[in-house]
Chains A and B, each alone.
Chain A
């Protein structure tokens, strides 16, 4: 079999395609696995800061013609709708028509009402809801500050978006509890008309320093979960789209080595409510670390994006991330389909960006790829070239089995009677 060919894209081709904006660090709920330290802070991005963000992004030579703007918190809908009316109008004014902007909101849905739904419809903004599944799974982790479950209110948002005819996707954080319930999760999505889902995992990141998925035996359980989910989706592929399977298949079919946008400098630019700028993994913004303190590499008021590369902390982080990707490239069998993993997970799991394998990559990359490959193989039959050798293996296995079953004397008898058509059937029966 020919080895896969693949080329790594020229760094000059990397473009700024994702702008992650944090209009507020505040969140109206208190999920047990949240990585953000400042989610009780009610600060809000000013329009003047947003205007500077537009100037800096527009001034970047790396800006792509298509820019996704992800409004990400905290809880983005904790900022009043009127602010977004002004913010999106400002951005529409600042960006030329040659730059196609797509706004995306990732929300817990609790504050979503008809006004928001109309706003999303009017602006064409994409909506992602964070829902972990049925109540016994979702409410175990996604709770209000008073400790109440939030599923019921999140499902009101689902119903509202559906009534308005607005498409949306769901992001589910998998924890140890979820892994026991693949069928229940699948049924939950289908029964509630949820058609597109992405699985995140409970990560060790920021202020969330532990994960139920880091316990012994969890990887095997996770693989079993993905295997079962693959089977459920394969049996009814028109009902549910799972991001993980789609991206795994896309990377398998691609003739290029995968890249991870989190490892490409300025492919993602993240800006906090106060105008602090970062790049690489968006989770780095707002988190702190003993070795680097913070990951703000500049401020929109004082730095062009091109200036950030002069920041000593940026240089240290960037070169450590690059070493990590190089190490993955030389050590890991999955690199071609992964692109080097997520820097934030490397840092918060191992203390370094130049690490290689993490729990995050074992589960979300390796396990998903393995199960996708095995799932397709199991359903595609053996290729012609392997069928002859497989037939030989099967024949040998059958013979071994017969040998084990028959005593030496019986084998002798069989040898004496091998011309008998009836006896010739025996090996087949034992298979």
Chain B
């Protein structure tokens, strides 16, 4: 069979709101992100510092994202559990 189905109407739903989309939007609004492309820094800094840089940027750009993170998202879940 082919990979494409004839899509029924109900699945043409609203755009998904995801953490990826929220971060992408926040960075798109941030002029600084478009000024200077960055090469990958793996090994250049430790993991903790790199994550801190991301968290700090998000704290400035999208503070509600950090504040309203649901507690259950902080728990690594079983693989067959959404």
Contact = CB atoms under 8 A, between A and B. Distances in A.
Interface of A: 1-4, 17-18, 20, 68, 70, 72, 104, 106, 126, 128, 134-135, 151-152, 155, 158-159, 162-165, 169, 171, 184, 187-188, 191-193, 195-196, 198, 200, 233-234, 237-243, 245-247, 249-256, 258-262, 268, 281-282, 333-334, 336-339, 342, 364, 369-370, 373-374, 376-384, 386-387, 390
A369 B77 CA distance: 15
A261 B35 contact: no
Contacts of A242: 20
19 contacts: A20-B78, A70-B80, A104-B81, A135-B3, A158-B5, A169-B82, A191-B4, A196-B16, A238-B21, A250-B73, A259-B75, A261-B75, A333-B47, A338-B76, A339-B75, A370-B42, A374-B40, A374-B41, A390-B36
Contact of A380 (B38, B52, B74, B76): B38
B75 A260 contact: yes
B81 A376 contact: no
A383 B55 CA distance: 12
**Size class of the B contact interface (CB-based, 8 Å):** 35 or more
A17 B19 CA distance: 23
Contacts of B34: 381
A128 B51 contact: no
Contacts of B52: 1-4
Contacts of B77: 247, 261
Given A162-B8, A252-B54, A200 B80 contact: yes
Contacts of A184: 3
A374 B37 CA distance: 12
A250 B74 CA distance: 6
Contacts of B58: 253
Given A262-B78, A337-B51, 9 more contacts: A135-B3, A162-B7, A193-B7, A254-B69, A258-B75, A334-B47, A380-B57, A381-B35, A384-B32
A242 B21 CA distance: 11
A239 B16 CA distance: 6
Interface in B24-44: 24, 27, 30, 32-42
Given A104-B82, A106-B80, A381-B37, A192 B4 contact: yes
A282 B15 CA distance: 34
A249 B23 contact: yes
Nearest to A248: B19
A4 B51 contact: yes
Given A200-B80, A253-B66, A338-B76, A380 B54 contact: yes
A387 B36 contact: yes
A382 B81 contact: no
B11 to A, nearest CB: 4
A300 to B, nearest CB: 21
B53 A1 contact: yes
Contact of A339 (B57, B65, B76): B76
Contacts of B39: 378
Contact of B36 (A246, A262, A342, A382): A382
Contacts of B11: 162, 193, 195
Contact of B76 (A126, A192, A247, A376): A247
A243 B81 CA distance: 10
A333 B55 CA distance: 17
A381 B19 contact: no
B76 to A, nearest CB: 4
A404 B13 CA distance: 57
A191 B4 CA distance: 6
B78 A18 contact: yes
Interface centre among B1, B17, B48, B75 (most CB of A within 10 A): B75
